[in-house]
């Protein structure tokens, strides 16, 4: 029994050893299988990658060759177009030059003669010089006429002003405004007042006129020249007009009512104040004029 039990124990141990060996063999087999799969996958991947790299290099070579061919063809076309454009521009320029020479020759020979054109321009230039000289002379003459007319108008204005200021003429009893005793030479207006004489009014109010006030005298026409602005003329010393005889005793000027005049003085007192002056108003004005002339 003891030996049988030992045999059974040995058989069990043998089985366990066989199981462990088989398991170890299976483990090594699986490891080898995985290693073989890895080696095969790496080799196949390397071979496929090498093939793809080879195809890519060949495709690049093909594309490079094709693109170079296309670029060279396009460049040749561009060069031919540029050469054609340059040639056409050169031909056009030469044609324009030939046409210009021919047209100039034709115009100078058959249409416009150079020497006749030159003579025509010379005549125009000389005519322009003459016209310009005449226009300058005319402008100078018109300028002188304007200056002369201005002087005449100024002298007429002075004469008319003297005619308006005839009441300021100096007398033996009362010296005028322009005749200051402190001046060595009389004033210009004083001399003009001596030459201008007052003219009596020649305008008569008609009977049918609506205006009842007498008409103002019309200013006389003064014959004044630039050379002698203060020369006496017949226009200044015109004869006194002959008035027509009075055939009617009809009142021509309305006499105002005293009550109406008093009412106007009450309603508008400033009108009466303007007319009121002092008894020695003339002497006061002369004294003020002397003081003013001394200050000058």
Within-domain flag for 287: no
Structure tokens at 207: 């009977």
Please indicate, yes or no, whether residues 185 and 138 belong to a single structural domain of this protein.
no
Q: Return d(Cα 294, Cα 296) in angstroms, integer.
A: 5
pLDDT at 271 over 50: yes
Res 91: pLDDT: 95
Res 118: pLDDT: 84
Range of the domain at 42: 10-112
Of 155, 180, 212, which closes a domain? 155
Within-domain flag for 218: no
Q: Return d(Cα 296, Cα 291) in angstroms, integer.
A: 9
φ/ψ (deg, to 5) at 219:
-70, 140
Angle, helices 188-195/114-164, rounded to nearest 10 degrees? 80
pLDDT one-digit tens code per residue, 30-57: 888 999 999 999 999 999 999 999 999 9
Res 217: pLDDT: 40
pLDDT one-digit tens code per residue, 174-191: 777 777 777 777 777 888
Please indicate, yes or no, whether residues 29 and 64 belong to a single structural domain of this protein.
yes
Res 242: pLDDT: 63
Q: Return d(Cα 1, Cα 4) in angstroms, integer.
A: 5
> HEC string of the chain?
CHHHHHHHHHHHHHHHHHHHHHHHHHHHHHHHHHHHHHHHHHHHHHHHHHHHHHHHHHHHHHHHHHHHHHHHHHHHHHHHHHHHHHHHHHHHHHHHHHHHHHHHHHHHHHHCCHHHHHHHHHHHHHHHHHHHHHHHHHHHHHHHHHHHHHHHHHHHHHHHHHHHCHHHCCCCCCCCCCCCCCCCCCCHHHHHHHHCCCCCCCCCCCCCCCCCCCCCCCCCCCCCCCCCCCCCCCCCCCCCCCCCCCCCCCCCCCCCCHHHHHHHHHHCHHHHHHHCCCCCHHHHHHHHHHHHHHHC
Burial 250-270 (b: 16+ CB within 10 A, else e): eeeeeeeeeeeeeeeeeeeee
Please indicate, yes or no, whether residues 125 and 146 belong to a single structural domain of this protein.
yes
Please indicate, yes or no, whether residues 16 and 108 belong to a single structural domain of this protein.
yes
Number of domains in the chain: 3
Res 130: pLDDT: 92
Res 210: pLDDT: 43
* More reliable by pLDDT, 169 or 144: 144
Within-domain flag for 146: yes
Please indicate, yes or no, whether residues 29 and 78 belong to a single structural domain of this protein.
yes
Please indicate, yes or no, whether residues 137 and 107 belong to a single structural domain of this protein.
no
Please indicate, yes or no, whether residues 143 and 190 belong to a single structural domain of this protein.
no
Q: Return d(Cα 138, Cα 146) in angstroms, integer.
A: 12
Please indicate, yes or no, whether residues 76 and 19 belong to a single structural domain of this protein.
yes
Please indicate, yes or no, whether residues 178 and 148 belong to a single structural domain of this protein.
no
Q: Return d(Cα 269, Cα 264) in angstroms, integer.
A: 8
pLDDT tier, 88 (very low <50, low <70, confident <90, very high otherwise): very high
The mean of the pLDDT values for the chain is 76
């Amino acid at each position: 029994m003891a030996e049988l039990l030992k045999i059974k124990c040995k058989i069990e141990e043998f089985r366990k050893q066989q199981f462990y060996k088989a398991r170890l063999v299976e483990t090594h087999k699986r490891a080898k299988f995985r290693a073989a799969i890895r080696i095969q996958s790496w080799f196949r991947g390397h071979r496929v990658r090498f093939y793809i790299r080879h195809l890519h290099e060949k495709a690049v070579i093909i594309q490079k060759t094709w693109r170079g061919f296309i670029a060279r063809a396009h460049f040749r076309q561009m060069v031919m177009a540029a050469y054609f454009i340059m040639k056409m521009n050169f031909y056009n320029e030469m044609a324009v030059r030939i046409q210009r020479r021919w047209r100039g020759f034709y115009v100078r020979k058959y249409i416009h003669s150079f020497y006749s054109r030159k003579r025509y321009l010379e005549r125009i230039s000389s005519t322009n010089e003459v016209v310009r000289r005449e226009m300058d002379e005319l402008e100078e003459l018109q300028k002188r006429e304007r200056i002369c007319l201005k002087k005449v108008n100024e002298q007429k204005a002075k004469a008319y002003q003297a005619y308006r200021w005839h009441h300021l003429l100096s007398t033996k009893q009362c010296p005028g405004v322009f005749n200051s005793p402190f001046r060595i030479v009389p004033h210009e207006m004083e001399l003009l007042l001596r030459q201008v004489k007052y003219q009596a009014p020649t305008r008569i109010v008609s009977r049918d006129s609506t205006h009842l006030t007498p008409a103002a005298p019309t200013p006389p026409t003064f014959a004044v020249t630039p050379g002698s602005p203060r020369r006496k003329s017949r226009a200044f010393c015109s004869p006194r007009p002959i008035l027509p005889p009075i055939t009617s005793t009809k009142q021509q000027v309305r006499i105002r009512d005293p009550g109406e005049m008093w009412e106007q003085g009450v309603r508008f007192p400033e009108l009466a104040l303007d007319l009121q002056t002092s008894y020695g108003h003339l002497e006061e004005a002369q004294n003020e004029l002397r003081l003013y002339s001394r200050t000058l």
